[in-house]
Amino acid sequence: MEPRVAGNTDPSRDRRTRPGSLLTGVAAAVGAVTLTTVGQSFTPLKAFDLLAPRHPDHGPQALPVNRTAAAAGVSQVSAAAYRLTVSGPNPYTLTLEELAALAQHESVLPIACVEGWSKSAHWTGVRMTDLLRRAGAPPDARVRVTSLERYGAYRVMEMGREYAHDPLTLLALKLNGQPLTPDHGYPARIIAPNRPGVLQTKWVTRLEVL
Ligand SMILES: Nc1nc2c(c(=O)[nH]1)N[C@H]1C(S)=C(S)[C@@H](COP(=O)(O)O)O[C@H]1N2
Ligand SMILES: [Mo]
């Protein structure tokens, strides 16, 4: 409770008690928010909340999922059909088998989503800098990364030199010792240090040396 001060003439105090369109509008907005919240709290699907993808302790491979493979339309990536194409001075294409046969490295790095969760994981894959060097990229090259996802704000991402050539930056094939699940970007996804989750591109199919 606010202390009541005798003789207070602050006009804002009066305005608050006056019924008017502003207060009515606020009340309506509060009502709308409450209705939305109630709708969420009492959904019959409440029981499945424990498995909700954004819960930091859940999701396949003990890592939350922001956008699922189904939502991105890439849930059926065939290992046989997959290709990684790398453009640059010496362009090349790799099958998944060839990618997996390159030197594999490990990084322990988090996914830090702007939606408010962060979770560290153990990643295994090919160093971005190795892939770029193989394409004849100079050591200061940047890279554009493209996902198999057809639409979506995070389909294409660019990475500056300091990330592209960081030895921790991987085109990851494994998460916590297992091949990536579709939701985590099977068969290959970016993991790089000190970048927001939105730039950790999943379902990577193309690298372009810039
Ligand atoms: N292609 C693609 N990659 C993406 C996204 C996406 O929508 N499409 N979402 C990003 C976001 S917002 C986050 S937080 C991370 C989450 O990775 P995870 O689902 O493996 O935990 O993936 C990123 N990579
Ligand atoms: Mo995110």
* Whether residue 121 is found in the same domain as residue 203: yes
Q: What is the DSSP letter of 3?
A: P
| Residue 209 pLDDT greater than 50, yes or no | yes
Are residues 160 and 75 both part of a single domain? Answer: yes
Judgement on whether residues 80 and 133 belong to the same structural domain of the protein: yes
Task: Answer whether residue 26 shows pLDDT above 70.
Answer: no
User: What residues contact residue 25 under an 8 Å CB cut-off, 6+ apart?
Assistant: none
- Structural domain boundaries enclosing 91: 60-209
Q: What tokens were used for 57?
A: 């302790």
Task: Indicate whether 110 and 190 sit together in one domain.
Answer: yes
How far apart, in whole angstroms, are the C-alpha atoms of residue 29 and residue 60? 37
Q: Is 67 touching ligand 1 by the criterion CB < 6 Å?
A: yes
Q: Are 88 and 43 contained in the same domain? A: no
| Tens-digit pLDDT profile for residues 147-157 | 999 999 999 99
Among the atoms of ligand 1, which is closest to the Cα of residue 203?
1
Same domain flag for 31 and 81: no
Is the same domain home to 34 and 106? no
Q: What is the pLDDT of residues 92-122, one digit of tens each?
A: 999 999 999 999 999 999 999 999 999 999 9
Q: Is 4 part of a structural domain of the chain?
A: no
Count other C-beta atoms under 10 Å from residue 190's C-beta. Answer: 25
173 lies in some domain:
yes
Do 84 and 165 have their domain in common? yes
Residues 44, 69, single domain; the answer is: no
**Which are the contacts of 147, defined by CB distance < 8 A and separation ≥ 6?**
72, 74, 154, 155, 156, 201, 202, 203, 204, 205
In a domain, 110, yes or no: yes
Count up the domains in the chain and report the number. 2
Structural domain includes residue 180: yes
The amino acid at 66: N
pTM of the complete model: 0.77
pLDDT band at 42 (very low <50, low <70, confident <90, very high): very low
In this structure, what CATH number is given to the domain that contains residue 78? 3.90.420.10
202 lines ligand 1 (CB under 6 A): yes
- Cα 208–chain centre separation: 21
Residues with Cβ < 8 Å from 17, sequence gap 6 or more?
A: none
Q: Is the pLDDT of residue 32 over 50?
A: no
* 115 inside domain: yes
For ligand 1, whether the C-beta of 72 sits within 6 Å is: yes
Average pLDDT over residues 181-194: 98
Ligand 1 in reach of 205 Cβ (< 6 A): no
> For residue 47, is pLDDT > 90?
no
Question: What is the distance in A from the centroid of ligand 2 to the CA of 116?
Answer: 8
Q: 100 and 202 share a domain?
A: yes
